[in-house]
Amino acid sequence: MDWFSGLTSEPRALVRAHREALDRLPRTFQVSLAAELRKWPNFFNPEKAYFQTLIDQVGALSDAQLKDIFGPLRAFEVRVGCDRISGGDPETLESRLLDYLRVQGQYPNWRREVAATFDKLEPLLEAKLYGSINLPRLVVMIYGSGIAIERDSLWRRFRPIGIPISLRLDGADSTQPFIYQLFTGTSYRSAGGGQPSQAGFVDAHQAGAVTLFEALREQRGFSPFDTWIFEADDHLHQICERSAATRPARDCAIGLSYNRLQRYRETLSDAIYSKVQAGISGPLQLAAYLKTLDIIPEEGSTLYSDRLVRSFIRDLFLEGAGTLIINNTFVEWGAVQALKRAQPRLVVARFGVRDKMKPFSSLLLFSKPRPTDQIPILQDPLGSFVDVELLSYYIWLNAEEIPPFRGKTLYLLLADGVDEMLAVTPGARHPRSLNLPPATLPDVAATMAQWLQVTLPHSSGRVIEPLLS
């Protein structure tokens, strides 16, 4: 059977150009590749570039190279009998092959063979994809207000490789002034005069302070796909919406807020519940149905939206364990998926306070509990701190596994109202002996802007030079 049938024009032309080499690939590799290429319309540009490079590279391999790279995996498949399994389409066959390998107790061995294959293949791909790319990237992780910060253990996993910097908050000890100064470099008091207040916050925007997100768009030509914001709440979304930019500030980033997407989450859960109640033959039928869902978020629930973003949001909630019910899992998983798939220049992940975990029966997804079964929602500030300490570390670990981020990314960790931040500079692996003087939030803003090669025209901050050297 032709597993590459039914592709859209771009991947179909790519396969046609290298069909002889692709037909010689091991069955599990070929079927997996065909299943991935069927997702082409929902790929971001870096994903398309990866698969184009992969197929071009496979087509350029000599017979000896094909045997060296793929021979062990092919021999393994013959040994365990993968040729006995059939399926009507790539997704079905891929699922049946994996089930067969698990039943035979060969799944771990197969994973090792696949990993060994990519150990030989990936260096060739990385050299072509990223060999001449040395773009600075920035990941900012913020603990939102309400999280019970334990100063003795704050950023514990990062301390061995991070640079601690004391912060002079200058009145920015609550959420709005904190993140406003951080992403505009503008003194919160200077625009409105007097003590910080909601009115002063709005006045500052009316005064025309430009956010880092807008500066990247206007000065560097960043598209929304170059800048991603993930939030448990929506304070950064508000900053973008209240900006006095001449162009729509909402288009300066892909912004996804767990709170703002509440109606979307409910609609998605209801659709799946209805499908399950109507009856399905199994997980493959459900998976096929989920791919047809194109739920459009409510107006204003995202900063920017198109078909690709809608597909990303759907996958974010359907493929990420816990993203439908835990806000901080949504933030972490979303950031990791954006890093891997869109490979942006700037990612901001802002965590919040999650609800207390409920008994397992009340967490069953897509169920409709009786009113008498419902449990009051209570927040868990301390549990949230424990979670985000680990989730922020996961974001760093995953980013450092991605070639365009490895050794090229500056990581900043901050917490609303906390007078300290931690910086992890590119390639950091050992403790730094730097003893830097206290900085202000506008200083941090100026440093982020300098790192990404833009200026914040209204910023009063000074660049923290040691972080950039």
Site of tokens 């302070």: 209
Cα–Cα distance, 21 to 54 (Å, whole number): 12
Q: Which fold has domain 137-467?
A: Alkaline Phosphatase, subunit A (3.40.720)
Nearest to 267 by CA among 220, 344, 324: 324
Q: Which of 260, 201, 202, 265 is nearest to 231 (CA)?
A: 260
Phi, psi (deg, nearest 5) at residue 231: -135, 145
Distance CA 193, CA 204 (A): 9
Per-residue pLDDT of the chain (469 residues; tens, 9 = 90+): 688 888 999 999 999 999 999 999 999 999 999 999 999 999 999 999 999 999 999 999 999 999 999 999 999 999 999 999 888 789 889 989 999 999 999 999 999 999 999 999 999 999 999 987 789 999 999 999 999 999 999 999 999 999 999 999 988 988 999 999 999 998 755 444 444 444 444 444 444 588 999 999 999 999 999 999 999 999 999 888 876 455 666 688 999 999 999 999 999 888 888 877 777 766 667 777 777 777 888 888 999 989 999 999 999 998 888 898 899 999 999 999 999 999 999 999 999 999 887 655 444 555 555 555 555 578 899 999 999 999 999 999 999 999 999 999 999 999 999 999 999 999 775 555 678 899 999 999 999 999 999 999 888 899 999 999 8
Q: What CA–CA distance (Å, rounded) separates 215 from 252?
A: 9
Global confidence as pTM: 0.89
Q: Where are the domains of the chain?
A: 9-130, 137-467
